Amino acid sequence: MAQVYSNAAFTVVAGRSTDSRKSFITNNLESPKRPLPCQLPIDTSNESGTLVIDLPRSGGIGPVSTRGWCFQERLSSRRSVIFGEEQIVFMCVAELAYENGRSVTNKLRPKFLQPSASTAPYQEPQALKEQTLRDWYLVVNTFSECRLSNPHDIFAAIMALAQPVARVLKSRYLAGVWECDLVRGLLWRPCHHFQTGPNGKIPVTRPKPTRFTKGSGPVVRAPSWSWAAVEGPVAQEALNPARMARHRDPSFARIRPKHLNPEKWSLDAQCAVDALHMPTCELELIGHMVKAVVLQALVSDFIKSKPNVRKFGSPHKHRVLLADEITTRKEAEEDEPWGHVVAIGFFDVLEERNGVDNVWCLPVVQDRGLMLKRSSGGKFSRIGWYLPEKGDWPSGQDEVEICLC
């Protein structure tokens, strides 16, 4: 599919059509109540022409922008003629030219789709790698906003974009996360937790059955630690230069792979950039684990008492206060009412908070970690993430081997 669209002279995008069985030449999205343009003569002569004044027209693509399979097709195309919501748009690798005369730089197409991206001799390898990863995380953010009729198509529908990234990074592709950047790849967050825009209003869920899936039970399409394990907008942590520089510091990470020479986070041989389905993949790592108590106290009350605590745009119901299991409330109250609070936790899926009194916390980097639940077999799965409120927490814990599935 990647070659079909990337080698095409141009692609016709029926952006305004809600269904492949419906027409896109006739614009059914445009309001029938829209007033006609006003034509004004430039002067009294008949030779100078007229000036046409019209209301602004939407530059939106239309319903096709919400469909998961169309996402990679649109980005892979070098040139596209888009029948949008209210106007026709020409898009190439450099810019978007609108029917109303407006022209903007094309910031949608990632640089790793350029034919020379994997062989660019003029670019320092580390800089090329970081640029590619930055573009990839932005692609995943936009892709996560799209819908799939069959939730199991999550990896197939982005394969055409993952393949050129693999050629640049030369890294294994573990259920949507690049092994060479796995520490940062684990730190995805639902946009609902920290954004205030449109994506911040959409809570993520677990994938739901559709008429294309078998049975009516839970849909498991990816391991719990992958962004593909949930449906809805997700985003990586900040991709600014300062944050990326911290990730280059080896001491910033709090986990490391169990297997060395060569370094591997997983022994799973089924995960690959060409794999259509990756519902399971176990990570084997070494890190510090600590059990925490989920408090019933309101996060909003804690934040009010701590003016320096970061404010969040997410609803309070997704957030919880975490206390170290070995620290009693009585001991904490002797010095500080909130002294027993060690972190603010965020459940990925709201319904999974119900009935949870304890979680396992895994520091991934110095200032962020994952909330996990433990299975009867001793393996762990992700249920959320957390921000430590005490810089040295957890401290004094021995390293242990962890299997994350």
Q: What is the predicted pLDDT for the residue at 47?
A: 76
What are the pLDDT tens digits along the chain (405 aa)? 678 888 888 899 998 888 777 777 777 666 667 777 888 888 877 777 888 888 888 888 889 999 999 999 999 999 999 999 889 999 999 999 999 889 999 988 999 998 665 555 556 888 899 999 999 999 999 999 999 999 999 999 999 999 999 999 999 999 999 999 999 999 999 999 988 888 888 999 999 999 989 877 789 999 999 999 999 999 998 788 888 889 889 899 999 999 999 999 999 999 999 999 999 999 999 999 999 999 988 888 888 877 666 656 555 678 999 998 776 555 555 566 788 899 999 999 999 999 999 999 999 999 999 999 999 889 999 999 999 988 778 877 889 999 999
Q: What is the predicted pLDDT for the residue at 21?
A: 78
- Cβ atoms of residues 371 and 361 within 8 Å: yes
Crossing angle of helices 68-76 and 125-143, in 10° steps, is 140
- Cβ atoms of residues 4 and 70 within 8 Å: no
Q: What is the predicted pLDDT for the residue at 51?
A: 84
Q: What is the predicted pLDDT for the residue at 376?
A: 85
Sequence-separated (6 or more) residues with CB below 8 Å from residue 28? 16, 22
Q: Which one-letter amino acid corresponds to residue 166?
A: A
From CA 132, how far away is CA 139, in angstroms rounded?
10
Instruction: Phi first, then psi: give them for residue 60, nearest 5 degrees.
Output: -65, 145
Residue indicated by tokens 């979680």: 359
The alpha carbon of residue 348 and the mean position of all alpha carbons in its chain are separated, in whole angstroms, by 13
Give residue 131's region: left, alpha or beta (phi > 0; psi -120 to 50): alpha
Note the pTM of the prediction, 2 decimals: 0.88
Crossing angle of helices 68-76 and 159-169, in 10° steps, is 50
Sequence-separated (6 or more) residues with CB below 8 Å from residue 349? 203, 204, 205, 206, 230, 383
Q: What is the predicted pLDDT for the residue at 353?
A: 93
